[in-house]
Amino acid sequence: MEYDDDRKQQMWDWFFQHYTDPADAGIPHDSGEGGYQYWVLEGKGPYHPKEVLEDEFSEYPQNIIEEVVKDILGGGGEWIRV
């Protein structure tokens, strides 16, 4: 994703340097057991982008954070720490 706003770009880049989709990380998925088996992560997930970005970029306006969160969620709703 490319943004004209440097703040948005910074948040996007930072998020994908620190978080990834559980499927891309090889986390086991079992529909009968409720989805991704996060127990294998030992505290590395799942995380929601809104909470993570609000913590890391608390000085940015909420509407800027929410725009980036919306774009991130377009790629999936569950994320784990890299």
pLDDT for the residue 32: 74
- Residue-wise pLDDT tens digits, 5-63: 999 999 999 999 999 887 776 776 667 766 666 655 666 668 899 999 999 999 999 99
pLDDT band at 69 (very low <50, low <70, confident <90, very high): very high
Domain ranges in the chain are 6-81
Q: Inform me whether the pLDDT recorded for 77 exceeds 90.
A: no
Quote the longest CA-to-CA distance of the chain. Answer: 43
- Show the tokens assigned to 1: 């994703």
* Cut 0.75: pTM above it: yes
Q: Which residues contact 10 (CB under 8 A, 6 or more apart)?
A: 57
